[in-house]
Amino acid sequence: DAKTTQPPSMDCAEGRAANLPCNHSTISGNEYVYWYRQIHSQGPQYIIHGLKNNETNEMASLIITEDRKSSTLILPHATLRDTAVYYCIVRVALGGNNRKLIWGLGTSLAVNP
């Protein structure tokens, strides 16, 4: 069963920041938050992940609340190519190196010119 909830769709103006929220109120202490996105007809693409600290990479920033019950993915300057479905995922560690991804339904982000 999904461990995350996201708004089904969002719009963003090109060049502005896109802030995508995610609730994961049942997340356990050793479970990471991952973000992937899927551009039409392609496979999911890794964006960023975090445990409890905020993270930033060349693609995005991830802000995780102190209680870890929610997070926000920030695309600082959205472009038309960022139009995609964004998935907030809980990664479950099951022992050994098994890292199962538990997916939600995602947010369909439309970046408008």
What span, in angstroms and rounded, lies between the C-alpha atoms of 19 and 45? 18
Which one of the spans 17-25, 58-66, 76-84, 100-108 is the region binding another protein (CB under 8 A)?
100-108
Instruction: Enumerate residues 42-71 that contact another protein by CB under 8 A.
Output: 42-46, 49
C-beta closer to another protein: residue 53 or 98: 98
DSSP state of 5: B
**Inter-residue contact 73 to 84 (CB < 8 Å):** no
Minimum distance between the CB of residue 44 and another protein, rounded to whole angstroms? Answer: 5
Coil/strand/helix, residue 80: helix
Determine phi and psi for 6, rounding to 5 degrees. Answer: -135, 155
Minimum distance between the CB of residue 8 and another protein, rounded to whole angstroms? Answer: 12
Which spans of this chain sit near another protein (rule: CB under 8 A)? 2, 32, 36, 41-46, 49, 87, 94, 96-106
